Structure 1
């Protein structure tokens, strides 16, 4: 089983920043989960929310700002927004990157594949399988994981992974039961769960045979 630090070691450092990712390394995580979307001028940036309100107290939407403008934003705790290429510059190739395509339609799939080109130990994941299809069309040979939450369309829960060429599903842990894990394993899929912070819950899902756990506390 692999442990992925959710947005980095976000229990101790500001999420989706280089300090959070590097601290996850220090704590022995197998990899990190991160969110990517596009700036107005097409840079692949690492940021979760659609706007800057929660982390910077500003109402602008990320997609409306250029990389130059985003790079000047100061987040909580003095944090800065990195680009995906900035993370690749400091990330060791023997640790995993679970890159969630968060926003940007087909273009984010294509651009993420371009930036990641040749990088080992990468998973691409998304709630929107169309982004994953765009990544595949752009030449992605990476494993793709379909993200599933309670509000995901029902057909995606049944056979969405197979329909869209995904080798794994990453579930909201509140949807995860022993029977659910058995069902997906029976379909030949690997199973990941998010976001699991309780040590008791970690042991429980590990006992069911999940392959990956995403946690704020690696």
Structure 2
């Protein structure tokens, strides 16, 4: 059965990578994974926002990609070294802090694709999203961390389990199965996974191929490619059969992939 996260949304899927920061927004100090970035993605008409979860010193799950604040705010401290109140003050001129709880409550129509970045955040993320399982996909580069978050969501008793996409170990097994042309091994690796979210290339290795897409689709698994910002690349990948595009420019993607007559 198709998970509700996938149902009723426009296809191909546009996933706003860390929200949406337009050039104009950037000039005004807006940064990725801020309240303003999530709001901008929602205003652009996308169904999906991809974001990342870290834990503050006082145990609040916040949407933030890096383990430290340096790249985004210029503050050298780690996320887990500051309180949520500290981070709210730091982010005040950068679009505003958004916690996971705020994101889920403030944007009830948005479907979230959440990457659990911090080891200690998995259980709290799972518990927070439990009652929103119908509109959340959980993932992590660590399959162990991803499964921990899913287990926490199940234990919290929300009803519908979140959807999930493969971590690095599963992706590696799938790519290996594709390279030896084993549909059976690919399907075995994809058991329990709803989506395969991968870059088109990893160094010299081409990850996204017609065979990989075929193997995933015959396992009822979607293929989403990150991070694609060129409209020509978006349309080319969709023509190959890719189901979703993860992009920094969700506004551009909506125009390119969902043209209105």
Superposed pair shares fold, TM > 0.5: yes
Q: In the alignment, is residue 142 of structure 1 matched against residue 155 of structure 2?
A: no
Which digits, 9 at most, give the CA deviation of each residue in 1:41-90, with x for residues without a partner?
Answer: 21101100111111111211111222222222137x53332211121232
Stretch deviating more after TM superposition (153-162 or 4-13): 153-162
- TM-score, normalising length: structure 2: 0.73
1:178-197 correspondence to structure 2 within 5 Å: 178-197=210-229
Secondary structure of residue in 2 paired with 1:45: strand
SS in 2 for 1:131: helix
Distance, in Å, in 1 between the alignment partners of 2:236 and 2:167 is 20
SS in structure 2 of the partner of residue 137 of structure 1 = helix
Gap runs ≥5 in structure 2: 1-11, 26-30, 155-160, 177-185, 202-206, 251-261
CA distance, structure 1, for counterparts of residue 212 and residue 199 of structure 2: 12
Query: Are 2:197 and 1:170 equivalent residues in the alignment?
Result: yes
The CA RMSD over aligned residues, in Å, is 2.4
- SS class of match (1:59): coil
CA distance in 1, matches of 2:223, 2:90: 36
Q: Specify the alignment match of 2:4 in structure 1.
A: none
Tell me if 1:101 matches 2:116. Answer: yes
Corresponding pairs, count = 212
Per the alignment, residue 82 of structure 2 pairs with: 65
Partner of 2:158: none
Question: Which residue pairs with 1:126 in the alignment?
Answer: 140
Matched, 1:89 2:102: no
Unaligned runs of 5+ in 1: none
Question: Contact 1:110/1:135 (CA < 8 Å) preserved in 2?
Answer: yes
Structure 1 SS opposite 2:65: coil
